[in-house]
Amino acid sequence: MWSLAKQFSAPVLSSLFMMLGAGFFLSFITIRLSIAEVSDIWIGFVHGAYYTGLLLGALRIENLIRRIGHIRALAVFASVSTITVLLQAFYIEPLYWMILRLIAGICVAGLFIVIESWLIAKSQKKNRGLLLSLYMITIYGAQGFGQFFLNVVEYDSAQPYIISALFFALSVLPVALTRSNSPPLEEPNLLSWRKLFSVSPFGFTGCFTAGLILGSIYSFMPIFALYRDFSVPWIISCTIIGGLMLQWPIGQLSDHFDRRKVLLLVSFVTLIPAALLLFVMFDFTATLLTVFILGGLSFTLYPLGIAQVCDHYETRDITKITCVLLFTYGLGSSIGPPLSSFWIQYESPLALFAFILVVLGFLISVGLLSIITRPPVPSDEQGSYHPLPRISPIAYLLNPRKRGK
């Protein structure tokens, strides 16, 4: 792992700086708008704009990268991201912030595409599994650790904006200073959404509902923490670290049993922490444990959904499939915050978990219908589970997934 980290230090450091800047700033936006007495509905639309930007960037930004080259593209995206963060410090107005967050989302997607292209270009088939693990640990770790900047900044000052902008500016340096040639960027050849849904409605729906749930968690978990007078950094970081820690054990379980039943089981079990957070007023320690479990389970819905769909296809189609399912997840994460915001605005921050329960109920209904009406994929034909990023389609080329046959 250490030698791999040294070999890929430039893109890994760039992703580290980027997530340190972007991760805590997402939570800060929720807190700052809440302090300014902006309605939860507007907060949902501000976050929805960011996820829409991520989706648009993943879909459209590659043509710009091909035209101007990776190094210049990285400088452009990092610079514009820095500018959008600093511009938010001048004026707090939801529509103004929506526009800036949309632009920021597009740029962050572009940054991930450039960084992940470098990972792909320098990786080999034998080390891609380990590299993917290192990359995921870097992303989740930086995102979780970055939350603690919220403990040292003054919310009504320029400090949060400066810190986030600083890390975005730093993210360009490791890759920009490397002497490696720019990697090639191929046009993805996508499969039809309708075809993927008809082949595996449960896996497809799992990806979409994962977007609904995680987009809402990232957007409104800080408000839940403030509502319960808990530490926002601890609540958010425990949720994220749970999402990292439970990926592998649940993935191993899905590799040895009917993956639909594992996805259905995870959906059922995720109801428990969501219901407990809705109905039971735990103390701080018990709440940390509960959000850890909620994050650990809900973060696996997306890779389980991808793996379930991919079980129906040959290895050569995996990249095409995962690109489409990434966009499906992105659509869910774009509309999840605005949808859940209405629940929270007219009820309380606890309504976040009521929204999650309803979404899980929909997913469970699709899963039960799928298991009843469709035959399972034989266990020896299932591919292997791998935790995957959820921002750009490039990282899916790191997926060392193999079919049983």
* Domains of the chain, first to last: 9-182+191-398 (1.20.1250.20)
Closest CA to 113 of 45, 59, 38: 59
Distances in Å between the alpha carbon of 172 and those of 38, 58, 162, 205, 344?
33, 19, 16, 36, 38
pLDDT at 252: 74
pLDDT at 191: 57
Supply the pTM of this predicted model.
Answer: 0.86
pLDDT at 284: 93
Cβ atoms of residues 341 and 212 within 8 Å: no
Give me the residues of the chain with pLDDT under 70, please: 1-8, 120-130, 132-133, 178-193, 312-320, 322, 375-405
Phi, psi of 294 (to 5 degrees): -60, -45
pLDDT at 7: 63
pLDDT at 325: 75
pLDDT at 256: 75
pLDDT at 67: 79
pLDDT at 403: 46
pLDDT at 260: 82
pLDDT at 204: 84
pLDDT at 291: 95
DSSP 67-91: HH-HHHHHHHHHHHHHHHHHHHTT-
Determine the Cα–Cα distance for residues 14 and 169; give it in Å rounded to an integer: 10
Closest CA to 306 of 292, 293, 320, 295: 320
pLDDT at 405: 40
